[in-house]
Chains A and B, each alone.
Chain A
Amino acid sequence: MEKIRPAVKSFFIFLAILSFIILTGRAQERRLSYEIKVELFPETAMLHGQETIVWTNTTGDYIPDIHFHLYWNAFKNELSTLAREARREKMFSRYRAGKDGRGWIKINSLTTATGKDLLPAASFISPDEPHNPHDQTVLRVALPEPLAPGETIALNIDFQAKVPRNGLRTGYFKDGFFIAQWFPKPGVYEEGRGWNCHEYHLNSEFFADFADFRVEITVPSRMVAGACGQEIEKKEDTASGKTTYTYVGKNIHDFAWTASPRFIKVERWFRAAEEVTPEEYQKMAEILGLTPEEIKLPDVLMILLIEKQHEKQIERHFKALRAAIKYYGLWYGPYPYPTVTMVDPPFRTGSGGMEYPTLFTAGTSVILEKDVLSPEQVIVHEFGHGYWYGMVANNEFEEAWLDEGINTYSTGKVTDLAYGPGRLPVRFKGIPLNWLIKTPAVYDWQLGRIVSSPVAALDPIVTESWKFYNSMSYSANVYYRASTALHTLERLLGEKTWSRIMRTYHMRYRFRHPKTEDFIRVVNEISGRDMRWFFEEFFFSAKDFDCGLASVETRLKPERYNGIFDDLPTKNPGQVKQLQKKNSSRKEKIYETAITLRRYGQAKPSPEFPLKLKVEFEDGSVEWREWDAQTRWVRFEFEKPARVKTACLDPEAVWLVDTNLANNSYSSAGPGVRLAAATSRILQLAQNILLTISGLL
């Protein structure tokens, strides 16, 4: 714990809240606010809550109803949309629960401020295709009369909920709880289009409106609690043995919390002046075309709730979080909230690696390797969601790539810079084996490209989350193929343009709900080029991009060509004569080299962005060619006094979307000892397996 007196600390928090309100500005015009009081009963894993929602119709529509998410009903029975989807994916056992393990949420009463009971006018709906009459995760509440533009409605809800044992992103084990998606939450009303309020799907995250939250959480005093927003009060009632924590969160669109007796709470400050040097500000400001003053970062209070079993990893957690706050802040915009809470989630609650506004969960293991970037990558990623999802709040149901893809791209940039490449983990029975089996150190973009290549032709990146071919296609497309495409776009447009695109997109859509079209608009605007083709090829269609060398042939040119060469005019009469002359007069050997390139995949670049081919000859000379890959193949021919030594398509590795890099290069020498090592290792593996089988018989 940092030594800082409580009074000084609260002063800092006050300053931070104040600057936050000034920074975000629109606190008063927010159309939604929540006041929730909730108590956790750990023995029965039940919640009892009272919620007041004040919702203002800021659109021009007359709104007849309100749609609520009741997410925990996804764990209520085996016919919910989530359960059906999990069964299709053969992942059902993960969410199957005994009678006590099921989760649900029940609204006891729902009244207006005047006391009118709206519950009789409420019904479950299934807005998504295919229609599922058994799903109870969306509740439609008809209003007594349509809500007029500008009108405000206040609703009082009393609800009870059972925490799911094997929930998705939420759950409990013994007395460790992680509570997310737990309260009745309205969808997002879109002007002219109505409510955007989807069912809880297996492959999908969330979408909600920015709001102000005030949440009072009562838990047994032996538990340590943490939540989104800032803790402003903690009241212990010794008689009942219970403690009530009050949290305030401004301009956030979700609220999650956690409580466990096995937490240690640690606080540290991110002090911008110590983390970022003036040179770094200067350099970044130049890239962005801003002044160093404009990109100055604020201090942030970092709160860590970590399981006691992981106590030794506290500094490792903070180091990763510092790197994330620094680079996301420098690149995309300063972190605007006064605090960030990092949770090492309670053991076996299935809630690790998830983002909530101003709070995220990571997750680690008691035995860690030094050079494997776990939990670092998760920490950077989930903090990063504070930017991509938390502030730039796209619809995760419909266009998940906007947060997952952009954030996977950003995570890789941060970890590559702060840590360099990380080794792939090898574990057996929970024990790291990296000391025995040497795995390669890889950069995030290298791994992302490989992971995404099998799904390139399966689904377009821009697909509604529950409509992907399967979970694998969802995650590989939305996270890794999107991030690989963004890396490619960055390499096509150059670092400076790209940095300005990302910053503009972030700052313009901070505290808003942008769509893919908004992103494309910013790309085109800042780059000054029409890049729509790129999105059409790689985001809106499922096409494989694979360009490669089909063949490389070098042969000694014959001394002379036989046959009749008369002087009748041909298309290119001079050339033949010239060649004949050159051949007969030359002393050195001439080699003819033909390199054939093929476009194996369906996707192709724009003619404005051709692929480059670099050919190196044994005499040291180098030739470059360009190919726009509009046709399926092309052949380049060279006449040189030397054989070809190496040929490399896209040598600067711009086109990372290429799903097969193994066919992009040629060298007469081959990869040498590595190939022999690989094949001999496969042979040894076969020997050992055969020997083991023979030993068993």
Chain B
Amino acid sequence: MNGCSYIGQGVRRASARFRLAVYLWLILMVLALLAAAPVNSLIRNQLGQLYFPVKPLQPFELYLVDVFLTNQHFFSSFAGFLLSFLSLAVVLFVFLNAGLFGRMLTPDPVVTFREFLADGCRHFWRFLLSLLVFLPFLAIFFLLYRLLSAPLNLWSRQAVTEWPVIIASNLRMLLAILLWTAFKLFLDLARIIIVHERKKVIHAYAAALRFLRRNFLKLWGLYLLLGLGVVLVSFLLLLSVSFSGSATPAGLFFSILLAQLFIIFRLFARQAFIGLEYIYFLENRGNQG
């Protein structure tokens, strides 16, 4: 199979299970509404009756800053709320990821919410464990990043103009992203093996390492190719959000619509990555030395 057909099959697999993206979008929406509720109600409370004439005293954004500055005690307690909210959300996300992988890997493309939740329960503990086992690899990730970015830092530190500083800083970011995709690919593969072969976590990691020893470069290339497509579409979507303008009700409606489309697209892209990796794994399983 050539590269394009892997990606094509991955995307097809994701489209067949598009419902998953919708489920996740709904759950995320509820979570986001909860997380943003305190701030949004404060803003509605303080600015809901603001007089904002055609020639206002200051741009609306500065009124938001006024609200922020005069309610600093609120925001410090909100930060506490957010922190505890996020730690709960993290546990939930592990569960949702377990469900996502579970359903992405079934042969039957018809996905129900009940099955999604059932898979979440089924794989939850192993997924949580897989995160813990990933921690040493995360340390390797940071170590590698520091090592590889050292020449860039040196170049940037010695520069007598701003260009090398800007270029080095952006290259560092690119490097971090590239490295991260490689490590993320590894983590996801381990989880595919956990779900597909019902293996124990450590065994799954070992199997993933064995598989990648032979197939890493090609799989990573495919991963990056798909990533490039995702970045391009994201960029276009973001650009259209920023151009849609929100000064009129119709414009606002349109920009909200686009923003939600962007979220759904991101969820779908996540499915496509899993799909691609799974197809590749299935095709090349016999090929691990």
Name A's B-contacting residues (CB within 8 A): 173-174, 176, 262, 307-309, 347-348, 365-367, 429-431, 435-442, 446-447, 450, 453-454, 546, 552, 646-648, 653, 659-663, 665-668, 670-680, 682-688, 690-691, 693-695, 697
* A-contacting residues, B134-190, CB 8 Å: 159-163, 165-166, 169-170, 173
Determine whether the beta carbon of B47 is less than 8 Å from that of A450: no
Determine whether the beta carbon of B32 is less than 8 Å from that of A683: yes
Given A450-B65, A678-B47, 8 more pairs with CB closer than 8 A: A347-B161, A430-B162, A442-B59, A552-B49, A665-B51, A684-B32, A687-B263, A695-B266
Name B's A-contacting residues (CB within 8 A): 28-29, 31-33, 35-36, 39-40, 43-44, 46-53, 57-67, 69-70, 72, 86, 89-90, 93-94, 96-97, 131, 159-163, 165-166, 169-170, 173, 238-239, 242, 246-249, 252, 255-256, 259, 263, 266-267, 270
Q: How far is the CA of A460 from the CA of B235 in the complex (A)?
A: 48
Q: With a CB–CB cut-off of 8 A, which chain A residues contact B239?
A: 436
Contact partner of B31 among A676, A684, A690, CB < 8 A?
A: A690
Q: How far is the CA of A262 from the CA of B270 in the complex (A)?
A: 49
Q: How far is the CA of A674 from the CA of B33 in the complex (A)?
A: 19
Q: How far is the CA of A552 from the CA of B270 in the complex (A)?
A: 50
Determine whether the beta carbon of A366 is less than 8 Å from that of B29: no
B83–chain A nearest beta-carbon distance, Å: 13
Q: How far is the CA of A439 from the CA of B242 in the complex (A)?
A: 11
Determine whether the beta carbon of B51 is less than 8 Å from that of A647: yes
Q: How far is the CA of A684 from the CA of B32 in the complex (A)?
A: 8
Determine whether the beta carbon of B242 is less than 8 Å from that of A674: no
Determine whether the beta carbon of B69 is less than 8 Å from that of A453: yes
* Nearest residue, chain A, Cβ from B242: A436
A-B contact pairs, 24 of them (CB 8 A): A436-B238, A436-B239, A437-B242, A442-B58, A552-B49, A646-B53, A660-B66, A660-B69, A661-B57, A661-B66, A665-B50, A666-B51, A671-B47, A671-B52, A674-B52, A675-B50, A680-B256, A682-B40, A683-B40, A684-B32, A686-B36, A691-B266, A694-B28, A697-B93
Q: With a CB–CB cut-off of 8 A, which chain B residues contact A694?
A: 28, 89, 93, 96-97
Determine whether the beta carbon of A668 is less than 8 Å from that of B49: yes
Determine whether the beta carbon of B173 is less than 8 Å from that of A450: no
Q: With a CB–CB cut-off of 8 A, which chain B residues contact A347?
A: 159-162
* Nearest residue, chain A, Cβ from B91: A697
* Nearest residue, chain A, Cβ from B259: A684
Q: With a CB–CB cut-off of 8 A, which chain A residues contact B28?
A: 687, 690-691, 694
* Nearest residue, chain B, Cβ from A665: B51
Q: With a CB–CB cut-off of 8 A, which chain A residues contact B256?
A: 680, 684
Q: With a CB–CB cut-off of 8 A, which chain A residues contact B62?
A: 440, 442, 446-447, 450, 661
Task: Given A307-B161, A661-B57, A662-B63, answer yes or no on A677-B266 (Cβ-Cβ < 8 Å).
Answer: no
Task: Given A347-B161, A659-B70, answer yes or no on A673-B249 (Cβ-Cβ < 8 Å).
Answer: yes
B193–chain A nearest beta-carbon distance, Å: 18
Q: With a CB–CB cut-off of 8 A, which chain B residues contact A676?
A: 252
Determine whether the beta carbon of A662 is less than 8 Å from that of B46: yes
Q: How far is the CA of A297 from the CA of B39 in the complex (A)?
A: 54
B211–chain A nearest beta-carbon distance, Å: 22
Q: How far is the CA of A240 from the CA of B263 in the complex (A)?
A: 67
A197–chain B nearest beta-carbon distance, Å: 37
Q: How far is the CA of A450 from the CA of B63 in the complex (A)?
A: 9
Determine whether the beta carbon of B93 is less than 8 Å from that of A667: no
Task: Given A660-B66, A697-B131, answer yes or no on A691-B263 (Cβ-Cβ < 8 Å).
Answer: yes
Determine whether the beta carbon of A174 is less than 8 Å from that of B64: no
A96–chain B nearest beta-carbon distance, Å: 15
Q: With a CB–CB cut-off of 8 A, which chain B residues contact A662?
A: 46-47, 50, 63, 66-67, 70
